Amino acid sequence: MATRPQAKATTRIDDGRVKATEWSFVPGAETGWHVHEYDYVIVPLVDGRLLIEEPGGGTRTTELTLGIPYARKAGVEHNVINDGEGEMRFLEVEITG
Q: Comparing C-alpha atoms, which of 74, 30, 23 is closest to residue 53?
A: 30
Domain ranges across the chain: 8-95
Beta-carbon contacts of 90 under 8 Å, excluding residues fewer than 6 positions away, are 22, 23, 42, 43, 44, 45, 46, 64
Architecture field, domain 8-95 = Sandwich (2.60)
Average pLDDT over residues 55-83: 97
Q: Comparing C-alpha atoms, which of 35, 43, 47, 45 is closest to residue 80?
A: 35
Q: What is the dihedral of CA 76, 80, 84, 88, to 10 degrees?
A: 90
pTM of structure? 0.93
- Grade residue 75 by pLDDT with cuts at 50, 70 and 90: very high
In the predicted structure, residue 1 carries a pLDDT above the cut 70: no
pLDDT score for 11: 98
Average pLDDT over residues 35-55: 98
Average pLDDT over residues 21-50: 98
CA 90 to chain CA mean position, Å = 7
